[in-house]
């Protein structure tokens, strides 16, 4: 059973996540935003309202609907089982967010090693 947990992130504000055992998870925390399509991203320095609810998003960031169409085309019908499990997950182009997983007892107490996943797009055109 998961419980709610809130972490104070200094000038950024507070982030509410959840715990499972000794693991705390905070999902979908915005680090940037796009003011308009095809515009340069802007850094998010603080949470509007002072607290961000990081319990709403799934373990994956939002995806565009085209990802599903392309996956069925590339991988065939069996991939539809994966998407059936994902029903209700938000779709969109807002991908400038982080999922953070940490030992619960380390919040605000210890410096820990960090693993960063630098993601990219499926295609690139110059």
Q: So what's the pLDDT on residue 87?
A: 60
Model confidence over 1-35: pLDDT tens digits? 679 999 988 899 999 999 999 899 998 888 888 88
Parse the chain into domains and list their residue ranges: 3-57+95-106
Q: So what's the pLDDT on residue 52?
A: 92
The whole-angstrom separation of Cα 46 and Cα 117 is 22
Cα torsion at 31, 82, 84, 54 (round to 10°)?
A: -20
Q: So what's the pLDDT on residue 82?
A: 60
pLDDT average, residue stretch 33-59: 84
On the question of pLDDT at 69 being above 80, the answer is no
Q: So what's the pLDDT on residue 89?
A: 60
On the question of pLDDT at 86 being above 80, the answer is no
Sign of CA dihedral 103, 109, 110, 114: positive
Number of helices (H) and strands (E) in the chain: give both, helices first: 2, 7
On the question of pLDDT at 72 being above 70, the answer is no
The whole-angstrom separation of Cα 41 and Cα 54 is 21
């Amino acid at each position: 059973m998961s419980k709610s947990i809130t972490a104070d992130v200094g000038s950024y504000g507070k982030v509410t996540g959840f715990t499972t055992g000794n693991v705390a998870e905070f999902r979908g925390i915005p680090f940037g935003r796009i003011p308009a399509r095809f515009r340069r991203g802007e850094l998010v320095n603080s949470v509007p309202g002072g607290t961000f609810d990081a319990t709403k998003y799934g373990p994956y960031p939002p995806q565009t609907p085209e990802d599903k169409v392309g996956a069925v085309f590339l991988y065939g019908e069996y991939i539809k089982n994966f998407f059936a499990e994902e029903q209700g997950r938000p779709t969109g182009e807002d991908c400038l967010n982080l999922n953070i997983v940490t030992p619960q007892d380390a919040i605000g107490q210890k410096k820990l090693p960090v693993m960063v996943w630098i993601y990219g797009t499926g295609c690139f055109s110059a």
